Structure 1
Amino acid sequence: MKQQTISKAISYEGAGLHSGLPVQMRILPSEPNTGITFVRTDLPGTPSVKADIRNVTNTMRATTLEDGEAKVFTVEHILAAFYGMAIDNCIIELNSPEPPIADGGSATFVQLIKEAGIVEQDADRRVYTVKQSHGIYEEDKFIVIRPYDGFRVTFTSINSHPMLGTQHADYEINPDVFATEIAPARTIGFTKEIEQLQAMGLAKGGSTENVIVYDDTTCLSELNFPDELVRHKILDILGDLFLVGHLKGHIIAVKSSHNLNSRLSREILKEMQEEA
């Protein structure tokens, strides 16, 4: 398969989920073999950081990339859109440290990619086929990847909230499945956490439209899917694992997090380096 980028630049304005800061985002085509690069146009010298697992510096509530003066966080939703839509190379210009929350999932970014158009490039796509099983375990949570001829994600979410409970989803990932079944799934939040999160400088840009908000007993948002939580967890995995590139393998996870996702990505990177 050939690498792909978008046909033309496209822009979008919004606010960041955690920072709440206004942001102007511009997505531009990029040359083959350049990957995904974030550029901070608001900083002197417009420093950039590549979407690479080696640039991850924080995984608390979101994934943060950092290289010198260039720092961006909550990158997983837009990276999931690139992975899900089979985009290899793009430049993302931001005049703020966080991409827009947009719809709260990846649907807005998928629509932007479709509006810009997708173009095939004169270079083969690099798809790494996982040769060994790798697993990250932490108490009652885990994420593993096993050799598999394709790309599949199986996730089980277990939550004590009376409207959530146990949710399970299993998808072979391709652009059609991603756009219809995964991309519209939004992030989740609980009213009892909001005050604490905002005191930590987080969740300042969330609303009941771009976040599925639950109080102690009910859901304050209108759901896109009955099992939207577990679908969003799969979305997060796609964004976090795209930091090592396109993969062939079967991911199986229970209650995984950005931290566990990133640790698995580093294990995959080790195998890739040993194979090289």
Structure 2
Amino acid sequence: MIEVSGIGLHSGERATVRFHPAEGPVRFRVGGVEIPARASAVVDTLRCTTLGAQGARVATVEHLLGALWLKNLWQGLLVEVEGPEIPILDGSAREWLRALEPLPANPLEPLPLPRPLRVLEDQGQIVAEPAPEFRLSVTITFKHPLIGYRRFESPPGRLAEVAEARTFGFLRDLEALRAQGLAHGASLENTLVYTETSSLNAPRLPDEPVRHKALDFLGDVYLAGAPFRGHFTVHRGSHRLHVELARALEGLLPA
């Protein structure tokens, strides 16, 4: 068994995660209730992705699921959670990958994407097109001198390059988020924080925000239940948009 503890990004409460090898698909266990790692189990996408079943919930699953994607671990794992959300740790997937290192990969054969898919939300969109292998193109646009327009593509970039990219936000939004019951665990230890013209802490990479958006995409689309071969183009993605695509992909799984 592997155990990891920390605070939740939004609740600010302490939480513990334990990884147990277990036959079958990846799933969470919260208070004795098992919740599948599937898009059909998503109950909320406000600022994070939350899964739920039978009154049990677990929030902020996306970074851990992104680490599972990067590790190619798609089955044979039960994730036991004590607390309202998955610990944020350093705000990226890097520490999750370190924790998962003793576990072997448990891959599934990638499925072909049978037809193009497109999901839209305000100015954001995702287009998924059939391709011989998995490809990802992510773009973001922010009116900020340190961000602006950024693009991450894999290939030529390696998917592993998104692992250390932390969640990010803007100092101007903090008070409003906390009024909504969010970001109570956010700090300079786990979040890249931007002021109007600069950042309060140093970015790990010049394009850290777009790499983090790519990580979020991988984590959310992991909820399709299996990897797919295709070219996924994400512009101004969001948890809701990612999960909408994941639901469409889940519907394509073999019976």
Q: Same fold (TM over 0.5)?
A: yes
| Alignment deviations for residues 21-79 of structure 1 (CA, whole Å, 9 cap, x no partner) | 10111112121xx2221112xx3xx1121101110111111111111122111101000
| Alignment deviations for residues 120-155 of structure 1 (CA, whole Å, 9 cap, x no partner) | 5xxx72422111110112332111111011111101
Inter-partner Cα distance in structure 2 for 1:229 and 1:154:
14
Change (3 A) 1:173 1:49: farther
- Is 2:29 the partner of 1:39? yes
Instruction: Indicate the residue corresponding to 1:203 in structure 2.
Output: 183
For residue 221 of structure 1, report the CA deviation from its aligned partner.
1.5
Inter-partner Cα distance in structure 2 for 1:80 and 1:102:
14
Contact 1:15–1:22 (Cα < 8 Å) also in 2 = yes
Instruction: Indicate the residue corresponding to 2:58 in structure 1.
Output: 72
Inter-partner Cα distance in structure 2 for 1:140 and 1:16:
29
TM (norm. structure 2) is: 0.94
Inter-partner Cα distance in structure 2 for 1:64 and 1:53:
10
Aligned residue identity for 1:110: L
Instruction: Indicate the residue corresponding to 1:217 in structure 2.
Output: 197
Contact 2:12–2:185 (Cα < 8 Å) also in 1 = yes
Contact 1:148–1:249 (Cα < 8 Å) also in 2 = yes
- Is 2:93 the partner of 1:112? no
Inter-partner Cα distance in structure 2 for 1:85 and 1:158:
29
Number of equivalences: 253
- Is 2:31 the partner of 1:50? no
TM (norm. structure 1) is: 0.87
- Is 2:154 the partner of 1:171? yes
For residue 271 of structure 1, report the CA deviation from its aligned partner.
3.5
SS of 1:206's partner is: coil
**Unaligned segments of structure 2, at least 5 residues:** none
Contact 2:113–2:230 (Cα < 8 Å) also in 1 = yes
Contact 2:72–2:105 (Cα < 8 Å) also in 1 = no
Alignment of 1:58-97 (within 5 A): 58-89=44-75, 90-97=77-84
Instruction: Indicate the residue corresponding to 1:15 in structure 2.
Output: 7
Aligned residue identity for 2:166: R
SS of 2:125's partner is: strand
| Alignment deviations for residues 208-265 of structure 1 (CA, whole Å, 9 cap, x no partner) | 1211101111111121111000000010110111111211111101101111111111
Contact 1:15–1:23 (Cα < 8 Å) also in 2 = yes
Aligned residue identity for 1:69: G
% identical aligned pairs: 34
Instruction: Indicate the residue corresponding to 1:143 in structure 2.
Output: 126
CA RMSD of aligned residues (A): 1.7
Alignment of 1:171-250 (within 5 A): 171-172=154-155, 177-179=158-160, 181-244=161-224, 245-250=226-231
Aligned residue identity for 2:59: F
Inter-partner Cα distance in structure 1 for 2:129 and 2:163:
24
SS of 1:213's partner is: strand
Inter-partner Cα distance in structure 1 for 2:33 and 2:251:
27
Inter-partner Cα distance in structure 2 for 1:130 and 1:67:
29
